[in-house]
A and B are shown apart, each in its own frame.
Chain A
Amino acid sequence: MDTLEICYMSAGDLSKLVQNKEVSPVEIIDAHLTRIEATEPVLNSFITLLADESRAAAHQAEKDIQAGRYKGPLHGIPVGLKDLYNTAGVRTTSGSKIFDTFIPEEDCTVAARFQQAGAILLGKLNMHQFAYGPTGENPDYGHMHNPWNPEMVTGGSSGGSGSATAAGQCTITTGSDTGGSIRIPAALCGIVGLKPTYGLVSRWGLTALSWSLDHPGPMVRTVEDAAITMNVIAGYDPKDVASAKVDIPDYTTALTGDVRGLRIGMPKEYFEAPMDPQVRKAVLDAISLLESMGAEVKEVSFPMFNQSQAISSTVLMAEASAYHRDLLEKDGHQLYEPVRQRLEAGLFISAADYLRAQQARALLDQEGRRLLDDVDLLAGPTEPVTAPELLAATVLAGEQEIGVVGALTQYTRPYNINGFPAISVPCGFSDAGLPIGLQLAGKPFDELTVLRAAHAYEQATDWHTRRPPI
């Protein structure tokens, strides 16, 4: 089989070939290492590549499968982890040279679950330093580059995960999402990113940015792969104090292709915010398509959306500064200056203002729950713009020039505040050939409905089959 075809196959399709012994894990890993070698000089997706280790693991997987010890759909499938997921014996930098030689003794829970499922760790992925930024900038390990146009950002903070998945360097990657850091690079790189409900996937062993806003989750090329990955990584973990004791369904049962009867709300406030007209058209077309497939679409009002940036910024900055305070005092001068500035700015937030933001957060949560009593999903753009140029401070959203950080987090932050599940799925391309994402958010722990709608939309379109020119 052509090695590039292997690299662009979904985990769902690859796993069938692996189980039937039509493709071996060794072939899969070799194909990906070849792809990485060809594309990495442009993309810079990896901080640590585990070429020898992944080859050895692939040989072991091949032996196990030949001997009848097939572990399931992720056995022999290449995975990349954002470099703030602790991995036993493999350095975990959090995107900073300060931790260039930090080698954890234990796997984080997500890494351990991937390993138990037989997945093969290809490497650790580049990221915005300490996950504190939505663009994918990293002076310590080099900036990340968008596979659709390397002059543009990948989005962040899980930028290496976005570029690696979009360019066929990895089949499955992970991100962590505090203000949009899974969904932003997913939208800008043209892949699927799922931020699960807060508490559904363990945060244990991940470097925190903001305890109450951090969500780990999958970044993949198909909705089916998001479901397959969730079957492995979701579930209660006593090591994570926020972990939820809930029944874990088989997420692949959501993949029916049927949206008949689903009630979809379009918050009018989303469409009153600054937005690129090409993004607006792609998103409205996507929602119309879901309606033509049998979903009931109606306009709803989400006034607290307009407060979400202020609430999220206050909570995030205060928590991030608290978490990183020792680091700031000891090694602040080694931090990327914009990251250091955000961390130091958070020190100026008073306890009273932090708690006021948490009160407002409760109101946003209540409003979101009321809305989702009336509809099953909220739909809108993931991003108001396509990928901005690398290191740009502002971006044009329609006729309005706005700050990049505010623009990229405009639609994603509400679902970090209330913890509801939200997915970004490709829904088009701009005239310049840059991807556009549709965001669908649902009720807490109702990932099945989110995946169901995203999958049905994906199967009715071909956006997810397009490949970047690299």
Chain B
Amino acid sequence: MAAEKQLSREEFDHLAKLLGVDGEPAYLDELFSQVRGVFIGAKRIREIDVSGAEPDMAFIPPTD
């Protein structure tokens, strides 16, 4: 999976195009750096053993 390794600039440019994200080169350079950080965070979460845990969509307060 692409996200298991470092996101390359080519992959970023491809994803950005698909998502309709555009901007000046300097802006995209900075965004690329941010998105790399996002992918590192996502990879870190994938390393957590979440077996048996259902997604907690929010802390659900009691309603009755």
Instruction: Write the residues of chain A forming the contact surface with B, with a CB cutoff of 8 angstroms.
Output: 197-200, 211-212, 242-246, 307, 309-311, 313-314, 317, 329, 337, 341-342, 344-350, 353, 355-363, 365-366, 418-419, 444-445
B25 within 8 A of A: no
Q: Are A357 and B45 in contact (CB under 8 A)?
A: yes
Contact of A359 among B3, B42, B56, B61 (CB under 8 A): B56
Residue B55 contacts which of A346, A349, A362 (CB distance < 8 angstroms)?
A362
**One of A200, A359, A444, A445 near B50 (C-beta < 8 A):** A359
| A198-B61, A245-B63, A341-B31 known; A360-B45 Cβ under 8 A | yes
A349 to B20, CA, bound (A): 14
How many angstroms from the CA of A366 to the CA of B54 in the assembled complex?
A: 12
Contact A360 B53 (CB under 8 A): yes
B17 near A: Cβ within 8 Å? no
Taken together as a complex, chains A and B put the C-alpha atoms of A358 and B56 apart, in Å, by: 5
Distance in angstroms between the alpha carbons of A401 and B54 in the assembled complex: 37
Chain B, range 30-55, C-beta contacts under 8 Å to A: 30-31, 34-35, 37-39, 41-42, 44-46, 48, 50, 53-55
Residues of B within 8 A of A (CB): 3, 15, 19-21, 27, 30-31, 34-35, 37-39, 41-42, 44-46, 48, 50, 53-64
A-B contact pairs, 18 of them (CB 8 A): A198-B59, A198-B61, A199-B61, A212-B58, A242-B61, A245-B61, A246-B62, A310-B42, A314-B41, A314-B45, A329-B20, A337-B27, A348-B39, A353-B42, A356-B50, A357-B45, A366-B53, A444-B61
B53 touches A363 (CB 8 A): yes
Q: Once bound together, how far apart are the Cα atoms of A341 and B46, in whole Å? A: 24
- A199, B50: Cβ atoms under 8 Å? no
Other-chain contact of A444, B34, B44, B59 (Cβ < 8 Å): B59
A356 to B43, CA, bound (A): 10
Complex Cα gap A413–B30 (Å): 24
Within the assembled complex, what's the spacing in Å between the Cα atoms of A353 and B38?
10
Residues of A within 8 A of B63 (CB): 244-245
**Most B CB atoms within 10 A — which of A211, A212, A341, A350?**
A341
In-complex Cβ contact of A418 among B55, B57, B59 (8 A): B59
CA distance A348 to B17 in the complex (A): 11
B53 touches A197 (CB 8 A): no
A362/B45 in contact, CB under 8 A: no
Q: Which residues of B contact A307 (CB under 8 A)?
A: 44-45, 48
In the bound complex, CA of A366 to CA of B62 (Å): 16
- A79 CB to closest chain B CB, in angstroms? 26
Pair B53/A362 contact, Cβ less than 8 Å: yes
Report A-chain residues with C-beta under 8 Å of the C-beta of B31: 341, 344-345
> CA of A310 to CA of B56 in the docked complex: distance in angstroms?
15
A310 to B46, CA, bound (A): 10
- Supply 5 further A-B pairs (C-beta < 8 A) apart from A348-B39, A418-B59: A314-B42, A341-B30, A362-B56, A363-B48, A419-B61
Main secondary structure, interface of A, reads: helix
Contact A199 B59 (CB under 8 A): yes
CA distance A317 to B27 in the complex (A): 18
With A199-B59, A341-B30 already in contact, the answer to whether A356 and B46 are too (CB < 8 A) is yes
Residues of B near A211 (CB, < 8 A) are 58
> Given A310-B45, A357-B45, A360-B48, A348–B38 Cβ distance below 8 Å?
yes
| Cα distance, A418 to B60, chains bound together (Å) | 10
A310 to B57, CA, bound (A): 16
On whether A314 and B59 interact (CB within 8 A), knowing A307-B48, A344-B31, the answer reads no
Residues of A near B58 (CB, < 8 A) are 198, 211-212, 242, 419
User: Looking at the complex, which one of A353, A359, A445 makes contact with B53 (CB distance below 8 Å)?
Assistant: A359
A347 to B16 CA separation, bound complex (whole angstroms): 9
Residues of A within 8 Å of B37, CB to CB, are 345
- The answer to whether A344 touches B21 (Cβ under 8 A) is yes
Complex-state Cα separation, A310 to B64, whole angstroms: 33
Q: Which residues of B contact A361 (CB under 8 A)?
A: 55-56
Write out the residue numbers on chain B whose beta carbons fall within 8 Å of the beta carbon of A309.
Answer: 41
Compute how far the CA of A350 lies from the CA of B60 in the bound complex, rounded to whole angstroms.
24
**Chain A hits for B57, CB < 8 A:** 212, 358
In the bound complex, how far is the Cα of B30 from the Cα of A63, in angstroms? 57
Residues of A contacting B35 in the complex (Cβ-Cβ under 8 angstroms): 345, 348
Q: Determine if A243 and B50 form an interchain contact, defined as CB atoms under 8 angstroms apart.
A: no
Q: Which residues of B contact A444 (CB under 8 A)?
A: 59, 61
Q: Known interface pairs A344-B21, A355-B55, A359-B50. Does A197 touch B41 (Cβ–Cβ under 8 Å)?
A: no
Residue of B nearest to A356 (CB): B45
The reply to whether A310 and B41 contact each other, CB–CB distance below 8 Å, is yes
**Interface pair B55/A313, CB less than 8 Å apart:** no
Distance A284 CA – B27 CA, assembled complex (angstroms): 43
How many Å lie between the Cα of A317 and that of B35 in the bound state? 11
Residue A365 contacts which of B15, B48, B59, B61 (CB distance < 8 angstroms)? B59
